[in-house]
């Protein structure tokens, strides 16, 4: 039971960390270089 709980905690910690990373990535400001690269592609298009 203790091992099951431990594995369950580990698996869910991974999920919580992943959700945290997603939220951080969404709000993170991208550098001007990346924006310029993306705009360049839009212009090429």
Q: Which residues of this chain interact with other proteins, rule CB under 8 A?
A: 7-8, 11-12, 15, 18, 22, 25-26, 30-31, 33-35, 37-38, 41-42, 44-45
Q: Tell me how far apart the alpha carbons of residues 28 and 44 are, in angstroms, rounded to a whole number.
A: 26
The helix/strand/coil state of 29 is coil
CA 23, chain centre distance (Å): 7
Q: Shortest approach of other proteins to residue 36 CB, angstroms?
A: 10
Give the DSSP letter of residue 28. P
Q: Shortest approach of other proteins to residue 20 CB, angstroms?
A: 12
Question: Which CB, 2 or 15, lies closer to other proteins?
Answer: 15
């Amino acid at each position: 039971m203790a091992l099951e709980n431990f594995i369950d905690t580990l698996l869910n910690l991974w999920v919580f960390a992943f959700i945290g990373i997603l939220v951080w990535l969404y709000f993170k400001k991208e550098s001007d270089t990346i924006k310029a690269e993306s705009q360049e592609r839009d212009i090429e298009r």
